[in-house]
Amino acid sequence: MDDKNYDFLATQLEMTGFPESLREPLREKLQAGDAAFVLNYQAEIKKEQVNATLFFKKSAESEKYFFNSYRLLLTNEQHPNGLGQTFYITNKKMEEGQDKFKRDFTLKEGYNLLARADVPNEQRYVFGKWQKKDGELYNAWKGLDISETDKNGNFVFKNYHDSYGFKIEKSLASLPIRDKDKNDPELIRSLQKGNLVSVKNDANEIMYIAAYPPGRRINLFDKEMKLVNAPDQKAERKVTTRNANEMSQAQQVNDTETGYVATNKKKLNSVADTGDDIEGTSEKRSRRRRM
């Protein structure tokens, strides 16, 4: 076994949001030396069953293995047969001097994209600077269109670019919450990951917020998760043709989905202790590790 390859893969799993408990199964499969293998991770989040299948393949040119993708399957009352999506992992090295961009979706972000919406008929979105196939970089919120799949059976992505007009800082400024929360960079980054985030209003009451780019707004909920700010229907509009043409992931599948399954049933370490994807109180936010 190549120890450096193991260390690289273990770090890659950690950066993608998977727990340390997968390290030993990873080591065992690398030692076995199969051409390809899979690892499974299972968790339960707020009565939703989450199953992740991670795909690895040995290089045809060396003894090194690559983590190519993971398949996330979410099962709940609304989708008893499961709602699944394959998220591809970028293994290409960044070129020296190249501007940084978002390469992959973490496990928590993948869960957020598939999880039950806080408002009926709405989905969560994840923000990032992405790269097109021609190398051009662009900012966009990405979400899944669960009504349409591509040739590989994956839901297509909806992209909302800067030009669409959703400004998260402007939307935060209009909410009846504390200035401390409105100006919290960690809070903004958490919203950009598709999280439901806890805040407080001027009366020191707990509330929750989540970004909804298609409506150019941030949804505001009370402590009982009742929507406080009703959506402005006039502000809603469909994705433009330009956005629709870019509804795809930058990564392409390049793995063979075969191998051994190792199972782990511990809870996601990227989820709050409540079992929900709520990020905790604003006072604790700065001390928590972002996934």
Could you report the per-residue pLDDT of 253-285, keeping only the tens digit for each?
Answer: 333 333 333 333 333 333 332 233 334 444 444
Average pLDDT over all residues of the chain? 81
Query: What pTM did the predictor assign?
Result: 0.79
Q: Average the pLDDT over 89-109 and give the result.
A: 84
Q: How confident is the model at residue 286 (pLDDT cuts 50, 70, 90)?
A: very low
Is 125 domain-assigned? yes
Percent of the chain with pLDDT over 90: 60
Is pLDDT of 249 > 90?
no
pLDDT > 70? residue 51 = yes
pLDDT above 60: residue 143: yes
Residue 260 · residue 34 · CB < 8 Å: yes
Residue 290 placed within a domain:
no
* Mean pLDDT on 6-32: 96
Range of the domain at 211: 3-285
Give the least confident one: 193-207, 225-239, 265-279.
265-279
* Domains: count for the chain: 1
